[in-house]
A and B are shown apart, each in its own frame.
Chain A
């Protein structure tokens, strides 16, 4: 190795001098460190994965008929303020996940100012190398998805929907009419594809980032993560596919 004394002189490491910091400073220095940021990205990722699973279980009730879905949606709404607490919590998680990922990505760019003319990857998967891309497209999808089904501003037909026989909002028919549009379903399936790509790396990756991994677990987690991600994909896309194939029909006519 090259003579290392050459350029050491002017570098000073704050932690090397006094690592016994006050708790507040200690926490903020954790959040500014490479590993700390990874921890936050992983921990918020876990919350978002749990949400993705919960949301899927909610959606799949469409196959159980209008009564199930509409009742489930009514239950969620009845949570009232608690629902807003949950939404705020999810929002904070999304924002932290994005903020820290972007700050890591910027540092990673800077860490290799001159790139290789020729670069081969041996082990790194496509999903692992394009996490930022898949993540940003999923974000764009989520924004559209919220406008579509939560705020309901993109489809004028939703205004014509009447309440169901039990006087609840007819979520079932809303979903069916929403997905009858081939472009809406197409974008949805694309969004889910990128989500699955993101999760196929993210699901095993968070174990590593949180330090919950060892040599034997690595290959098993990688496989399990991939299987999990594509099950999520199949689960979510089964709904628009069923609607487009007319296997699921609206409960009311407009």
Chain B
């Protein structure tokens, strides 16, 4: 297969970037999108040109490192799935494919398609943990969790922190991410002691990073590789309102 690529190239955060056209020829339909970029890069290097910088790690949809906006969709056309799980057979032969980085102010661009998503880590650092004794694993049945609560917590915990929700959101809001992180602990008994302070701290951190505000368009859940449901944002809103009331009452 052959493709025309238009890739965002930007030397560093300060230089102005632009879309640059590349030809990707003799591509196997069973290559992943990232493998196709690897091939393009090898050819660029062979010609003595600077290869396209992009992020990836596991290349199997579990780490959340890859972060491409392909043809205007975060993680490309194959939802649910990360950019590394998109295969070239998904595209029409000789199609033009536009590749851009995840765009949001809290995701400053480092180079080409690579952005710094440390903002998401800082939201988690603000409260997305439990301050429990670390040590050997406790006896499995010492804390009982009802099956359906455990399932809901697992669904929320599936978030791989890729940031596609914020990248796809018309408002660059990271509410789906924050909702997933707040919810998965709120569903579990281990998360209860810090439940109130956690949501307040994490939402404050999210706002401080400069993400936009959710307007309930649900674009996030459409691109989320972990299929996090936007209804968790309703849960986040609920958690936050209740926590604010408790804080208001001076608890």
Rounded to whole Å, the gap between the CB of A233 and the closest CB of chain B is 21
Report B211-251 CB contacts with A as 1/0, cut-off 8 Å: 11111111101110000011101111111110010011110
Report A20-37 CB contacts with B as 1/0, cut-off 8 Å: 111100110110011111
A125 and B217 contact, Cβ closer than 8 Å, known pairs A16-B126, A111-B172, A111-B173: yes
Contact in complex: B118, A8 (CB < 8 Å)? yes
A112 and B223 contact, Cβ closer than 8 Å, known pairs A13-B201, A131-B215: no
Taking CB atoms, residues of chain A closer than 8 Å to B207 are 33-34
Question: How many Å lie between the Cα of A20 and that of B127 in the bound state?
Answer: 15
Contact in complex: B234, A208 (CB < 8 Å)? yes
Question: How many Å lie between the Cα of A37 and that of B98 in the bound state?
Answer: 36
Question: How many Å lie between the Cα of A124 and that of B223 in the bound state?
Answer: 11
Question: How many Å lie between the Cα of A181 and that of B85 in the bound state?
Answer: 60
A114 and B103 contact, Cβ closer than 8 Å, known pairs A2-B116, A108-B171: yes
Contact in complex: B201, A16 (CB < 8 Å)? yes
Mark the stretch among A47-55, A184-192, A212-220 that contacts chain B: A212-220
Question: How many Å lie between the Cα of A74 and that of B236 in the bound state?
Answer: 47
Question: How many Å lie between the Cα of A205 and that of B248 in the bound state?
Answer: 26
Question: How many Å lie between the Cα of A121 and that of B235 in the bound state?
Answer: 24
Contact in complex: B218, A123 (CB < 8 Å)? yes
Rounded to whole Å, the gap between the CB of B196 and the closest CB of chain A is 8
Selected from A34, A122, A129, A205, the residue in CB contact (under 8 A) with B73 is: A122
Selected from A4, A34, A120, the residue in CB contact (under 8 A) with B71 is: A120
Taking CB atoms, residues of chain B closer than 8 Å to A104 are 213, 215
Q: How many residues of B contact A (CB 8 A)?
A: 76
Contact in complex: B247, A33 (CB < 8 Å)? no
A113 and B120 contact, Cβ closer than 8 Å, known pairs A35-B241, A122-B73, A215-B231: no
**Most chain A CB neighbours (cut-off 10 Å) among B63, B204, B209, B223:** B204
Q: Nearest 9 A-B pairs (CB), nearest first? A: A211-B238, A111-B212, A4-B121, A120-B72, A124-B217, A15-B204, A4-B118, A213-B234, A108-B171
> What would 23 A/B residue contacts be, using CB atoms closer than 8 Å?
A1-B65, A3-B118, A8-B125, A11-B208, A16-B204, A19-B200, A20-B250, A26-B247, A33-B203, A34-B214, A35-B203, A36-B240, A112-B171, A114-B109, A119-B72, A121-B217, A128-B215, A201-B216, A208-B216, A210-B237, A211-B241, A212-B238, A218-B218
Instruction: Name 5 extra pairs, CB < 8 A, besides A20-B247, A35-B237, A128-B216.
Output: A4-B125, A26-B244, A115-B103, A210-B237, A214-B234
List chain B positions with a Cβ less than 8 A from chain A: 6, 8, 19, 55, 63-65, 69, 71-73, 79, 98, 100, 103-106, 109-110, 116-118, 120-122, 125-127, 161, 168, 170-173, 175, 197, 200-201, 203-219, 221-223, 229-231, 233-241, 244, 247-250
